[in-house]
Amino acid sequence: MASYYAGVFGSEEPHFLESCSLCRKHLGRNSDIFMYRGDKAFCSNECREEQIESDEAKEKSWKLSARSLRKKSSEAAKDCKTVRTGTLVVA
């Protein structure tokens, strides 16, 4: 059986409003759909909140990793000796 959204949007690929982005539960036509970031549909507020918490944890991890990399590169830069090169013109 073709999906409702495939008929509406003219596509045979599964539409993002057909199932919960987290638990993959089918989203019925007459059921509430909880949206997140405009393109993720969820069957319940609990699934939506779990995704939000997961995304926030990933973002925090990425920020800590980036901060650690910046710190390491600045420490490496301090260890390097500066060598100045240039041209000396004597008349």
- Which amino acid type is present at position 72? K
Cβ(21)–Cβ(40) below 8 Å: yes
Q: Give the model confidence (pLDDT) of 24-82 as tens digits.
A: 999 988 889 999 998 999 999 999 999 999 999 999 988 888 877 777 666 666 656 66
Residue with the larger pLDDT of the pair 90 and 5: 90
- The model's pTM is 0.57
Say what the pLDDT of residue 1 is.
43
Q: What letter represents residue 91's amino acid?
A: A
Read off the amino acid at residue 84: R
